[in-house]
Amino acid sequence: MELALRVQVEDLPEGLFLATSEELPGLIAQGRTVAEALDIARDVARKLIDARQTRLLARRWVRKANG
Q: How many domains does the chain have?
A: 1
Distance in angstroms (rounded) separating the CA atoms of residues 5 and 44: 12
With beta carbons less than 8 A apart as the criterion, state whether 38 and 62 touch: no
Taking only the tens place, the pLDDT of each residue in 5-54 is 999 999 999 999 999 999 999 999 999 999 999 999 999 999 999 998 88
Q: Within a domain: residue 24?
A: yes
E strand residue ranges, the chain: 8-11, 17-20, 28-31
Taking only the tens place, the pLDDT of each residue in 46-64 is 999 999 888 788 777 777 7
**pTM for the predicted model, two decimal places:** 0.79
Which residues span the domain enclosing 43? 8-66
Q: Within a domain: residue 1?
A: no
Q: Within a domain: residue 3?
A: no
